[in-house]
Amino acid sequence: MKSLRDEGGNALLEGVGFAAVAFGLLLTLGMNALTLEREALALQSIARNVMRYYALHPGKEIADVVALFQRDGILASESIQVIFTCSNQDCVTTGNLYLLELRTEELNTKAFGVIVE
């Protein structure tokens, strides 16, 4: 009878150990997902703010404006690829549509705007 009790105790210990490891893995996965979502929201915020700034100051270099908004955020150490296109040759005429795409290694976001005046 003594050996049956020992086996029962080991099974309980193994079950608790497995549950602790599984919970740790689930917690780590959840934290990684939250970090990625936080970075995605930061990249989207940078894109929107750059478009607002560019609408007010269309003569500025777009890569410099991206760097300006990037330097104080959580993506300060990330390399951001900037793709900027306009509907006309010059990007400063009224009614011109422009599209900004920002990319990192893991993330991608787009924003668009219109030059009003």
H or E element, residue 15: helix 2-56
**Residue predicted with more confidence, 6 or 37:** 37
56-110 pLDDT, tens digit per residue, is: 887 788 889 999 898 888 888 889 999 998 887 777 777 788 899 999 998 999 9
**Domain 2-114, CATH class in plain words:** alpha beta
| CB neighbour class for 47 (10 Å; exposed up to 12, middle 13-18, buried from 19) | buried
| Domain residue limits, the chain | 2-114
Residue type, 105: E
- Directed axis angle between helix 62-70 and helix 2-56, to 10°? 140
Q: Which long-range contacts (CB under 8 A, 24 or more apart) does 61-69 make?
A: 62/100, 66/102
- Looking at residue 32, its pLDDT comes to 92
